[in-house]
Each structure stands twice: as structure tokens, then as C-alpha cells.
């Protein structure tokens, strides 16, 4: 059983539609299920979509083609609406393509905007032959495609290695009278270079020059990158000199490419000399230039020189970028200097840049290699108020097989409370309760401490009660936190009463009691009489 749809024109009376329906559905089996009969206004560009093997799109297209003149511009059905799963989306895109092909074949003109959007979507779904066909149909029907879609299609063909097809398209478009610009040819140049055909690329550029096209700095950068990768940086240098002798004008990007080549060949000293010559050539280094050199210096462990160049960069008014931080962090971690890497990470989180996976991964890899526990990382970040980066780092660490333990969770709870995120701290505590990592007294103490520091001693006492109900034994730290929490809220007399009772029951030692007496200026322990409130708090 298969699904069939009949489109009914609603511009006339329903009683007048019978002959039309008969004429337009003679090739279809008789309708036995009236629920499949859909009514539609012809101005609405929608229809039911079918798998391509049934070719229902052409049947549906014929019902509209009969109503439109050849001079009318038709729009495509909305292939972007409906179910979003990939399979159905592919069916809808294919239906739209078949509809376009059929209508153009009948001599009708497509709406260029809709056809261009279809071209983009076909490219994104890697159906480049159909995308190329859409471009051809736009031109064949007298439409004028915009330069952006044309360049995009050529670029996509080249990126997929279809340089031959891209060249054929360019030739065909030129035959139609569409001028090809440097941007288009740069895509072809890059495509040829990606295939490792430097000689062919140079010959191609010579042809372009004879046609009157002038290569730009981007063209030269592509060539220089291909030259050093294929033949080495010395040959790339010769090519640069040849370009300049012919009147070419490379820019800083071109020189950065050569600097990268020197560094990749481990010729750092030569790279330093090349770097120093850039201002005399009229190109002061930018952040990208410094990053290239910093990467090489750090990789070789030349930290003093790296620091000098970093300081020089800042003096020149250039701010470190995300790439700069990632270079420093990854290099320090690679050389086992994880503490320094964490310092850079901490500095980074205070600025405008947020760490990404590439920032954390080198640190995590080194920590895993050294079998170091997480307290050096998670706890340190949380103590400094960087709880969000701590969560990110924890997430990345779990991808390396790390399982958070009680200490990890306690650090996160303390950090969240420190930043006033009490609800989130409670959520983390709930996660502990639900996970395989059973909560312990340290987790309870971390939450009680965070609540007390946020002046929510009332909630901390509720957590204390829950702890006792779950048969966790409060320790001296637990009671000390609560006494200090009460004192911080200005209830010094109550705090003193609590302290006296706790001391009398020997759950707080003499040293701790004396410290609290001096710190909060409590009365002497023996001078307190009324302990009723304390009993209600802890020992009912």
C-alpha cells in the first residue's frame, strides 16, 4: 500500500471540479481512501512529498504547469518546512529539484531567489552535481545568478576535489557571458594546490594573466603555502622573489605563510631573522605573526625568548588572542609544566576569552599521563571563583575516562556557594545522591559551609538534619562551621550557647573552642547557663 495525494483547485465550485479531477488523475489508481483527498489553494506553494522512486513530483508539477504561461515566474515548493529528520529533508530537497527540472524543461522560468536557496542546500548536503545543474537551469531560463552563489558553488566543488567540474562550470558561465572574477579563480587555484599540482597551478595562473586577470595577495598566499608544503620553504622563497620581480604585491599574510614554513622545518633561528626583517619590508608583525613564532619557541622549550616576544607583542599594543593562550597552555603542558599551564588558564579566564576544548585537552592529557589527582585543578579553579571553567574542565576530563569523586564534588559545591549560586550547589549535591559516588561527610560540610557563608544558616541546619537522618556522623568541622555561621549572622549569644553545649558534649575540642572564643569574643564557656536553644538545635 502506498500513499497518494490529489491536489484540488479551490478557485471554482466543488461541483465543477469532477471533470478536472478525472482529467488530472487518469494515470492514478482509483481513490479508495477519501482521507487522502487534500484541498489546496493554488497560491500556496506546498504539496505532499514522496520518495523519488515514485516520481510523484512530476505528476504534481503537471497540475500547475497547465495553469501557468511560459512567461510566468514559478516558485519552488517549500522544501524547508515539515519534518526535520535527514531522510525526509532529503526527499523534500529532491522533490524540489525534480519540480524545478520539470518546469524549466517545459519552458517556465524559476524564481531566482528560491532556486539559489535550493543550490545552497544541495551544496550543504554534498549533492554538487545537482547544485551545478540548478545553476545551469537558472542561466538557461534567462535568470541572472548572483556572484556570491556562483563563487560559493565553485568553491564547494574545489573543496570536494572536483576541480575539473569547477573549471567546466567556469568555462560554461563565461560562454554565457558571465565574467569571472579573481575570487572565483582563487578557488580554482586553491583546488589545484590541494591536489598537489603546483606546476599545473602556475601554468593556470600564467593563462589567467594573459587573459588580463591580475592575481591578488590572496592568490600569492595560496601559491606560497603550496610551494613550501610541496617543495620546501627555500623554493617558496624563490617563488616569492619571482612574484615580486614580476610586479606582484604580496601582503603580510604571504610573509606569515613563509614564516610558518620556516618554523615547521624547525628553522627557528632563521625564522627569528625573517621576523625581524618584516618591518623593513613595510609589514609590522601582527598577532598571527607573533603566534607563529611563539609556537615554535615554546615547542623547543625556549621559554625566556617566548616571554620576551610575548612582552614585546603587548608593548606594541597587540593583545594576546585565544590562539596565543592555547599555544602557551599546550606547550607548557606538553613539557610537563602543568602548574604554569594552569596559571595561564587562570589568567585567561579572567579576561575576555573563554577556554574551549582545545585549551583544556593538553592539560588533561598531561594530568592523565602523570596520574595526578584532580584536586590540583578543580579545587584550585573553584577557590578562585572560576567555577564555570572548573565545570568545563571536569566535563572534558570525563571524556578521558576520569570519574569525579567526593573531593571533586566538594570543590564544585564550595565554588558555587562562593559565587552565590546556592541553587546550583544544591543541584550538584543532588547529582552526588543519584550517582554511584556516595556522598560523604566532606560533601555535607562543603554545602553547609557554603550556605553559612551566604548567610543561609537556616538552610545549613536543614542540611545538617538531613545528614543525621541519613546516618552520617557529624564531625568537629561540621559543628565548627555551624557555630561560625550563626556568629556571622550577628547571633553571637546563640553561637556562644551552641559552642558551650558542643564543648560540654566533647564534639568540639578545647583548641577549637578557644579559637572560636577569641575570634568572636564569646564569653567564657563556664559562664553560659541557658542551653535549651542549643538542645533544640542539635540534640532533641
* pLDDT tens-place string over residues 508-540: 888 888 888 888 877 655 454 444 444 444 444
pLDDT tens digits, 121-142: 999 888 999 999 999 999 988 8
For range 267-289, the mean pLDDT: 95
Lowest mean pLDDT among 10-24, 138-152, 330-344: 10-24
Handedness of CA 517, 518, 522, 524 (dihedral sign): positive
pLDDT reading at 73 higher than 70: yes
pLDDT category at 396 given cuts 50, 70, 90 is low
Helices 406-418 and 422-434 pack at an angle, to 10 degrees, of 160
pLDDT reading at 70 higher than 80: no
What's the number of CA atoms in the CB half-sphere (13 Å) around residue 19?
3
Q: Which of 121, 183, 171, 117 is nearest to 147 (CA)?
A: 183
Q: What is the pLDDT at residue 536?
A: 46
pLDDT category at 435 given cuts 50, 70, 90 is low
pLDDT category at 67 given cuts 50, 70, 90 is very low
Q: What is the pLDDT at residue 523?
A: 64
* Helix intervals (H) in 211-355: 217-231, 233-245, 252-264, 268-277, 287-299, 303-315, 322-334, 338-350
pLDDT category at 13 given cuts 50, 70, 90 is very low
Q: What is the pLDDT at residue 500?
A: 84
pLDDT reading at 303 higher than 90: yes
- Percent of the chain residues past pLDDT 70, beyond the cut: 71
pLDDT tens digits, 398-414: 665 556 666 667 767 77
For range 464-471, the mean pLDDT: 82
Q: Which long-range contacts (CB under 8 A, 24 or more apart) does 59-66 make?
A: 59/27, 59/28, 60/5, 60/7, 60/99, 61/98, 61/99, 61/102, 61/103, 62/24, 62/102, 63/7, 63/24, 64/103, 65/102, 65/103, 65/106, 65/108
pLDDT category at 430 given cuts 50, 70, 90 is confident
Q: What is the pLDDT at residue 407?
A: 67
The helix/strand/coil state of 262 is helix
Contact 453, 482 (CB under 8 A): no
pLDDT category at 391 given cuts 50, 70, 90 is low
The helix/strand/coil state of 193 is helix
pLDDT category at 291 given cuts 50, 70, 90 is very high
pLDDT category at 279 given cuts 50, 70, 90 is very high
Q: What does the domain layout of the chain look like in residue ranges?
A: 320-401, 403-474, 492-540
For range 87-106, the mean pLDDT: 88
Q: What is the pLDDT at residue 368?
A: 55
Lowest mean pLDDT among 202-216, 385-399, 409-423: 385-399
Q: What is the pLDDT at residue 28?
A: 41
pLDDT reading at 309 higher than 90: yes
Cell of 522: 564569646
pLDDT reading at 3 higher than 60: no
Contact 123, 152 (CB under 8 A): yes
| Mean of per-residue pLDDT scores for the chain | 76
CA angle 275, 278, 281 (to 5 degrees): 160
For range 18-41, the mean pLDDT: 39
Higher per-residue confidence, 360 vs 535: 360
Amino acid at each position: 500500500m502506498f500513499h497518494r495525494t490529489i491536489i484540488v483547485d479551490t478557485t471554482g465550485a466543488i461541483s465543477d471540479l469532477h471533470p478536472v479531477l478525472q482529467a488530472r488523475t487518469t494515470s492514478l489508481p482509483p481513490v479508495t481512501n477519501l482521507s487522502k483527498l487534500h484541498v489546496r489553494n493554488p497560491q500556496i506553494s506546498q504539496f505532499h512529498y514522496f520518495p523519488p522512486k515514485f516520481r510523484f513530483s512530476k505528476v504534481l508539477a503537471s497540475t500547475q504547469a497547465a495553469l501557468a504561461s511560459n512567461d510566468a515566474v514559478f516558485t519552488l515548493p517549500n522544501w524547508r518546512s515539515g519534518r526535520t529528520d535527514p531522510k525526509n529533508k532529503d526527499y523534500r530537497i529532491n522533490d524540489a529539484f525534480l519540480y524545478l527540472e520539470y518546469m524549466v524543461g517545459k519552458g517556465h522560468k524559476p524564481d531566482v531567489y528560491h532556486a539559489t536557496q535550493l543550490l545552497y542546500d544541495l551544496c550543504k548536503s554534498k549533492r554538487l552535481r545537482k547544485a551545478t545543474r540548478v545553476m545551469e537551469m537558472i542561466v538557461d531560463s534567462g535568470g541572472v545568478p548572483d556572484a556570491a552563489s556562483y563563487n560559493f558553488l565553485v568553491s564547494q566543488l574545489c573543496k570536494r576535489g572536483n576541480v575539473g567540474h569547477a573549471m567546466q562550470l567556469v568555462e560554461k558561465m563565461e560562454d554565457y557571458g558571465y565574467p569571472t572574477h579573481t575570487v572565483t579563480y582563487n578557488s580554482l587555484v586553491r583546488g589545484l594546490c590541494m591536489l598537489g599540482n603546483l606546476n599545473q597551478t602556475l601554468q593556470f595562473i600564467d593563462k589567467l594573466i594573459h587573459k588580463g586577470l591580475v592575481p591578488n595577495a590572496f592568490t600569492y598566499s595560496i601559491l606560497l603555502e603550496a610551494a613550501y608544503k610541496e617543495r620546501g620553504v627555500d623554493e617558496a622563497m624563490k617563488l616569492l622573489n619571482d612574484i615580486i620581480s614580476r610586479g606582484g604585491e604580496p601582503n603580510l599574510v604571504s610573509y606569515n605563510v613563509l614564516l610558518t614554513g620556516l618554523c615547521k622545518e624547525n628553522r627557528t633561528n632563521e625564522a627569528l631573522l625573517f621576523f625581524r626583517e618584516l618591518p623593513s619590508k613595510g609589514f609590522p608583525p601582527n598577532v598571527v605573526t607573533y603566534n607563529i613564532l611563539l609556537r615554535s619557541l615554546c615547542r623547543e622549550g625556549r621559554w625566556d625568548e617566548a616571554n620576551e616576544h610575548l612582552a614585546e607583542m603587548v608593548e606594541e599594543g597587540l593583545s594576546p588572542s585565544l590562539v596565543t593562550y592555547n599555544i602557551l597552555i599546550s606547550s607548557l603542558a606538553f613539557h610537563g609544566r602543568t602548574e604554569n599551564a594552569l596559571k595561564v588558564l587562570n589568567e585567561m579566564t579572567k579576561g575576555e576569552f573563554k577556554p574551549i576544548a582545545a585549551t583544556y585537552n593538553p592539560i588533561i592529557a598531561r594530568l592523565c599521563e602523570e596520574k595526578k589527582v584532580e584536586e590540583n585543578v578543580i579545587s584550585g579553579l573553584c577557590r578562585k571563583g572560576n567555577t564555570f571553567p572548573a565545570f568545563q574542565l571536569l566535563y572534558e576530563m570525563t571524556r578521558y575516562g576520569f570519574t569525579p569523586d567526593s573531593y571533586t564534588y566538594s570543590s564544585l559545591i564550595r565554588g558555587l556557594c562562593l559565587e552565590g549560586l546556592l541553587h546550583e550547589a544544591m543541584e550538584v549535591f543532588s547529582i552526588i545522591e543519584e550517582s554511584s559516588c556516595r556522598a560523604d561527610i566532606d560533601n555535607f560540610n562543603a554545602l553547609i559551609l557554603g550556605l553559612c557563608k551566604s548567610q543561609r544558616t537556616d538552610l545549613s541546619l536543614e542540611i545538617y538534619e538531613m545528614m543525621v537522618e541519613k546516618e552520617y556522623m557529624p564531625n568537629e568541622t561540621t559543628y565548627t562551621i555551624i557555630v561560625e555561621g550563626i556568629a556571622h549572622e550577628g547571633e553571637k549569644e546563640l553561637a556562644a550557647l551552641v559552642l558551650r553545649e558542643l564543648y560540654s558534649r566533647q564534639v568540639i575540642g578545647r583548641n577549637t573552642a578557644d579559637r572560636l572564643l577569641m575570634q568572636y569574643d564569646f564569653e567564657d564557656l563556664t559562664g553560659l547557663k541557658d542551653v535549651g536553644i542549643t538542645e533544640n538545635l542539635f540534640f532533641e
